[in-house]
Amino acid sequence: MTETLLSGRIFELSSERHITGRRKIKLILHEIFPSHDIWQSNGISWDEAYTAQNLGSVANMSICAEFLDDARSLPYGHGLTDVRDNIPLLEDATVVGHCEKAYIDDIEIDGTVKRVLIADGYIDEMRYPKFVAWLSENLSDGSVKGSVEIVGHPEHDNHIIYDGGWKETGRVPQIYDYSGYAVLGIKPADDTAIVIELNQNQNHKEDNRMDEKMKKELGTLVSGAIAELNSKWDEYYAKVQLKDAEITQLKADIAQKEAEIAQLRADYETANAAKAAAELGIAEANTKISALEKEKKLAELDAALAGFTAEEQAVAQAEIDAFRADPTSVSLDSITGKICVALVRKAKENPTHEQNSAGYPPDIFSGVSDIKGNDDSDIYGA
């Protein structure tokens, strides 16, 4: 059986008796190619043998539409919302009918005979009358398009198996199921996947009146949708402008804070430099003070030792050297005291000397304060 189509135009509509409310529809699911070197615009090349193996899954397959309007009259895409466990979720799509059977046939489209997979089914007119009216109106100029949906088998983790593996172009579905058909308001991957037959009521005048009414309703819907979209866009643009202003202010605040931080850092570095300079000055002053104090102590040592000969000083030479190295390590009194004690001991060890001899005993306390007593025996214990 061959039907002649021109840009999807239908010349004969089925008039067979059917269940009330079920509008018979005939769909081209996809074209079948004579070779794997030919493919549709999304890269799929349909093989007739594999198509025949899998066409049984078309029975009871959903016919769907993703509606743009609340009146459920204008279709858009597939309604895809997510992919979970390799299963596409089409939660924005509405089931408007079902396919009943599928078969392979040749049809002529725009003067060219093509091998295609066709499905017979129905649309639920009682629940979607405006959508059926839209189909009736748009079928007249062949503008109704659609796209078939396929999925993999559970035993293959829901992956579609392709002959020769997946390819960007020329991939051939081999093991899969037909899962649905979406009536589209956008360009389909397969231009051949169009609605090719819709059963019409016999009362053409009533249909014509309904068509005119639908035209007005659709025009109102489109105008309302555009107005609503523009309103939402204006609202969105106002929000964007507000956010831009807030961002600009935040950037200015950040720049001000960064300037304040930079100034604080500069002040901190200046203060640190001043502190370091002051500490250096204090250290230098302390060094000078220490040097002067040491010079003073050494002068006091020289003055204290002036009354002793080098031989007499030798008994305390270690203490003298330590004092000269660090005046704080040894007391000056301990040095002179040690020398005096040595001189007293020496005087006791030499009693044969005439005590009244000139210059004897030596004045061992000449380097310290004067000592007063009753007589010399108080000093030497004799």
List the structure tokens of 285: 């002053």
Distances (CA, A) of 304 to 19, 279, 339: 139, 37, 11
Q: What is the pLDDT of residues 196-223, one digit of tens each?
A: 545 443 333 333 333 454 455 556 666 7
d(CA 171, CA 179): 19
Q: What is the pLDDT of residues 119-169, one digit of tens each?
A: 999 999 999 999 998 888 887 766 678 888 999 999 999 899 999 999 999
Helices (H), the chain: 48-54, 129-139, 204-305, 310-313, 317-325, 332-349, 377-380
What is the DSSP code (8-state) at residue 169? S
User: Does position 189 have pLDDT exceeding 60, yes or no?
Assistant: no
Q: Give just the sign of the alpha carbon dihedral 53, 55, 60, 63.
A: positive
User: Does position 256 have pLDDT exceeding 90, yes or no?
Assistant: yes
196 vs 36, higher pLDDT? 36
List the structure tokens of 19: 């269940």
Q: What is the pLDDT of residues 40-54, one digit of tens each?
A: 888 899 999 999 999
Q: Give just the sign of the alpha carbon dihedral 348, 353, 356, 362.
A: negative
The CB density around residue 11, as the number of other CB atoms within 10 Å, is 9
User: Does position 369 have pLDDT exceeding 90, yes or no?
Assistant: no
Distances (CA, A) of 246 to 46, 232, 254, 282: 55, 21, 12, 53
Q: Which residues pair with residue 90 across a beta bridge?
A: none
Q: What is the pLDDT of residues 89-102, one digit of tens each?
A: 899 999 999 999 99
